[in-house]
Chains A and B, each alone.
Chain A
């Protein structure tokens, strides 16, 4: 996993509630396209017209937002399907951070598995960021510092955000969770031995 420490980038406001993972990546794309090739299909429904040409009004089709690495979103971003490809599609497009008041819970977890930082900030703070970004026609960049857990607006206004230390450290180091947990195999084995004694029916299906 790629590390995340700092980001300074164009930020695209997508201020509509409940942007679901079906909107981020259509399920049909997951049949033929592997991770790494999903960028052109991120937000496909909104980004292209039925004839395949770009929808000029969609924010990521407008300069300078086309080069956004950061999304400013409204409540419940990434709700819906557990498809991790929603994170991959954003990543492949170039998005490295999403700032929203709340996230779909599975999407939120998936972000941390892939080095894409989801930041939770109160809606009024995000609205101020959007106002500044829009006032600069999108050229004003937003900065995120994970070491300090701060977001800085284009005008330099700094806001702190909270992130659990475990998550923060894993993102800063680009840690692979499977490798971490594999070091716990003796604990897992000991747990299973005791668990099987206490709750034998949980292990009885295939005996």
Chain B
């Protein structure tokens, strides 16, 4: 039998029917929904399409929820209508909804793994581009648009073209201060935001194997910023240990049976990838973005690059526009740039390990007086666990706001906004123009780098703190 990649094995398992030109009708083993799902649910209902498999569908509220401290189900916001529609539509459809204040509520890409809903070997979709996150569990997972959401609701399947495969191998040990976020930002800086277009990416190598599940989720989360819809990490003992006993994970004998199967999933040693990229961990320093695309990234001790040295005119124009929007000058050192806001949260970096990483720096220190700093836990469960170990107190004593779980400042669709012209260091995934609010300027970084910036009041090298 021909050697297969992790991707091949999972894809082939889910083919209901092979169509022409590498297209296939694929079975969806997990459909995750967030509060943007009310539209497709209502549209399908109006067409007489029932939800084919509500028992394979999981829903929560995240994008449009207020993260105001003390928020409850009854809290009204400018987006409350959305939440009401989602409650109504999921009730009609018989889809379980994890609502505000309940364990299980949170950012969909945090709760999927947390609940054990995202399983190795599964084929998982959600109407959100960062669905690639769940690939960190050893699944094929990708984001879809709302027409495809309608298709999945009605048929529990999707028609997709088989992508090419790419393997990114990280070898070596991380240098001090280097986190999973730095590993993936560095890769995006090396191959660009279109470097992964057309590929399903597998992250491999001893540096990936050494990561806990949460770090793998962070890395897979930014696959879409690489241009790849799909990013994945082969499941291993770390994955099984993480899943054991979680609410929707298989239990008892069924769990053992599942693990026996999951052990067959990793890429065969002789499997061939369409593209291979090797990353030497020794070359990675803590990263920070300077522009308006995740590929506009440098190590924190470097200078802002000069568009004048770039030959490609389209790339140069994008860099020039980015510098103007960001209010930065080519050739300046990025460290020391004064900042106004810090956001620790989002589906990239809002899990317990991320909050611990930031709290370790915040402990006994103070947020610079001119900086507004927020910590937004990724889920109700993360929030409760963090509070149980006192992280909320560390943050509050340092001057961070401790808020309720949701997407918050990652996309400014919920009342949370960075004001126009203000500069933010953010652990989220997109530094696009206006992403954190009209006119807001975003620098992407790890939770440790974000905490360091909050304390210094400028972009700061976490290694110097």
Chain A nearest CB from B432 CB (Å) reads 4
Q: Are A15 and B20 in contact (CB-based, < 8 A)? A: no
Q: Contact at B49–A26, with CB atoms within 8 Å?
A: no
> Within 8 Å CB of A76, what residues of B?
193-194, 197, 227
- A22 and B434 contact, CB distance less than 8 A: yes
Chain A nearest CB, measured from B178 CB (Å): 26
Is B318 among interface residues, defined by CB-CB distance under 8 A? yes
* CA gap between A146 and B119 in the complex, in Å: 41
**Interface residues on chain B, number (Cβ under 8 Å):** 81
Which stretch, A3-11, A91-99, A199-207, touches the partner chain B? Answer: A199-207
B255 close to A80 (CB less than 8 A): no
User: What's the minimum C-beta distance from A121 to chain B, rounded to whole angstroms?
Assistant: 14
A84-B146, A104-B227, A177-B151 as given contacts; A187 in contact with B438, CB under 8 Å = no
- Mask, A6-36, CB within 8 Å of B = 1, is 0000000001111010110011101100000
What is the interface of chain B mostly: helix, strand, loop, or mixed? loop
Whether the Cβ atoms of A18 and B16 lie closer than 8 Å is no
Instruction: Give A110 to B142 CA distance when docked, in angstroms.
Output: 13
List residues of B (281-330) whose CB comes within 8 Å of A's CBs. 293, 295, 312-315, 317-318, 321
Is A105 part of the contact surface with B, judged by Cβ < 8 Å?
Answer: yes
Separation in Å of the B436 CB from the closest CB of chain A?
Answer: 10
Q: Kindly state whether residue B27 has any CB partner on chain A within 8 Å.
A: yes
Q: In the complex, are the beta carbons of A178 and B412 less than 8 A apart?
A: no
User: Are B157 and A188 in contact, CB atoms less than 8 angstroms apart?
Assistant: yes
Q: Map CB proximity to B onto A104-118 as digits: 1 under 8 Å, 0 otherwise.
A: 111001100110000
Chain A minimum-CB-distance residue to B199 = A105
**Residue with the highest number of chain A CB atoms closer than 10 Å, among B116, B117, B144, B255:** B144
Task: Establish whether residues B411 and A106, one from each chain, have CB atoms under 8 Å apart when the complex forms.
Answer: no
Q: B447 on the interface (CB 8 Å rule)?
A: no
Known: A18-B295, A188-B16. Contact between A31 and B25, CB under 8 A?
A: no
- Contact assessment for A113 and B157 in the assembled complex, using a CB-CB cutoff below 8 Å: no
Known: A27-B412, A105-B197, A188-B156. A22 touches B435 (CB 8 A): yes
When the two chains form the complex, which single residue of A28, A80, A201 contacts B430, counting CB atoms closer than 8 Å? A80
Docked Cα-Cα span, A31 to B138, in Å, equals 34
Q: Which residue of B lies closest to A87 (CB)?
A: B145
A17 to B195, CA, bound (A): 13
CB nearest to A207 among chain B residues: B55
* B:344-390 near A, CB below 8 Å: none
Query: Are A195 and B321 closer than 8 Å at their CB atoms?
Result: no
Given A81-B129, A182-B154, output 11 extra A-B contacts at Cβ < 8 Å.
A22-B430, A104-B197, A106-B229, A110-B148, A113-B148, A184-B17, A184-B157, A188-B157, A199-B13, A201-B119, A202-B122
Subset of 18 A-B contacts with CB under 8 Å: A17-B317, A20-B293, A28-B413, A31-B64, A75-B314, A76-B194, A79-B227, A109-B145, A113-B148, A177-B151, A181-B159, A184-B157, A188-B156, A191-B16, A191-B27, A202-B30, A203-B55, A206-B55
Residues of A bordering B, CB below 8 Å: 15-18, 20, 22-23, 26-28, 30-31, 45, 50, 74-76, 79-84, 87, 102-106, 109-110, 113-114, 123, 164-166, 177-178, 181-182, 184-185, 187-188, 191-192, 195, 199-206
